[in-house]
Structure 1
Amino acid sequence: MPKTIQFIKSAVLAKDYPVHNMAEVAIAGRSNAGKSSFINGLAKRIIAKVSSTPGKTRLLNFFNMEDSYVLTDMPGYGFAARSGDEQREWHQMIETYLTSRENLRGLILVMDIRRSWTEDEEIMRRFSEREGFPIVVVLAKADKLSHSAKLQAIAKIKKVTGLSAVFATSATKKEGAAEVERYIFENWIKE
């Protein structure tokens, strides 16, 4: 059964963010990491558009997750075709959101399980540490690896980052999203 998840609005500026009393969870990741597919996995239906062209999301997109919390989908990083001005605007929009949103409870960082941890991911990890909010790493597209390779990838990210909350997910096989949501609910949302 589909969840009652609704798109609230898109915004760039803080004055346009939705006003509500719920906790917020931000979701970030490289363009084409599988962010939209992961969001759709949480929703159990298509609410975020999956594009074959990386870098389509240019705004902060807010979703009401069953009146339990708000998921904020941030534009993907690392998309080289953006101009310097666009990249600066992206950094400013993301930094403003992450530093000014009082009800932000944590960050889900989505990355392709076949990729290595890069400076881009490390910047997000350090930023969340500096700002004092927790981070979960979601290794998407886990169906692309064997079971043992998947376990090795999880162990490698845990070792490189020092983070314990690392999950493998597959939108294709509909695996992992429920575990991530259970973790963030138990650790970030539930009062």
Structure 2
Amino acid sequence: MFDTRPDREAEVALVGRSNVGKSTLMRELTGHDFDTGGNPGVTREPNHYDWAPEDFVITDLPGFGFMSGVHEERREQIKTNIVHYLEEYAENILVAILVVDGKSVIDIIDRHSGPDEVPYDVEMFHFLRDLGIPTVVAVNKMDKVDDKDERLNELCDRLGLYPPWKQWQEIVAPITAKKGRIEPLNEAVREHLHEQQRDDLFKFF
């Protein structure tokens, strides 16, 4: 199902649970409309936006986690497919962008934290880093958050990054994709691209 990837050497991948605004962010980054529905889980397969001359692709992976109207078995299958995809292409992925909803992410993480449970967002963050993929957490919908610094500090704390968040600006990027406010993300991505000698890709971010 996930075998639609163009044969490109370099990739930036967007990951995140359903309905956090990945497809909106993808549209901001590429200027291209993808099928974004009002319903969570519309993106069931990866959306690839391909720049053949640069041997580069941006990929929006399907949302994981709870989706209303989607059977649990199907949800688990999607998550498994995402994990396999990331493992398979880890060496090609220059940067992963983990998109979270700034308004609800702390509640969601805390609700799913327990002795036997690691919240998806936290698990995905550590999984990406374990694969050696530079990861930026795009904290979306920040226009709906009142105390921004406090929220971002709490998120760092949950991710195992010592607050204050401002010392992690190459990892934590507060954005509002719907309003086109994604500069902190672009800066963080560029920093990782630079480290990998890919300044030629700056024009996309």
TM-score range, shorter chain: 0.7 to 0.9
Between structures 1 and 2, the one with greater strand share: 1
Cα distance in 2, alignment partners of residues 25 and 183 from structure 1 = 13
Residue 61 of structure 1 contacts residue 73 of structure 1 at CA under 8 Å; is this kept in 2? yes
2:174 aligns with 168
Gaps of 5+ in 1: 1-11
2:153 matches 1:155: yes
Residue 94 of structure 2 contacts residue 192 of structure 2 at CA under 8 Å; is this kept in 1? no
RCO greater where, 1 or 2, for CA within 8 Å and sep 6 or more? 1
Cα distance in 2, alignment partners of residues 171 and 131 from structure 1 = 27
Residue 123 of structure 1 aligns to a residue whose secondary structure is helix
Residue 22 of structure 2 contacts residue 99 of structure 2 at CA under 8 Å; is this kept in 1? yes
Q: Percent identity?
A: 29
1:59 aligns with 45
Q: Could you tell me how far 1:13 is from its partner in structure 2?
A: 3.4
2:186 aligns with 181
> Structure 1, residues 71-113: CA drift from partner, whole Å, max 9, x if none?
1111111234322331232123112210011311232111111
Cα distance in 1, alignment partners of residues 6 and 32 from structure 2 = 22
2:33 aligns with 47
What amino acid sits opposite 1:31 in the alignment?
A: S
2:64 matches 1:74: no
Residue 108 of structure 1 aligns to a residue whose secondary structure is strand
Aligned length: 174
Length-normalised TM-score, structure 1:
0.80
Aligned residues: CA RMSD: 2.2
Between structures 1 and 2, the one with greater helix share: 2
Gaps of 5+ in 2: 110-118, 162-167, 198-205
What amino acid sits opposite 2:160 in the alignment?
A: G
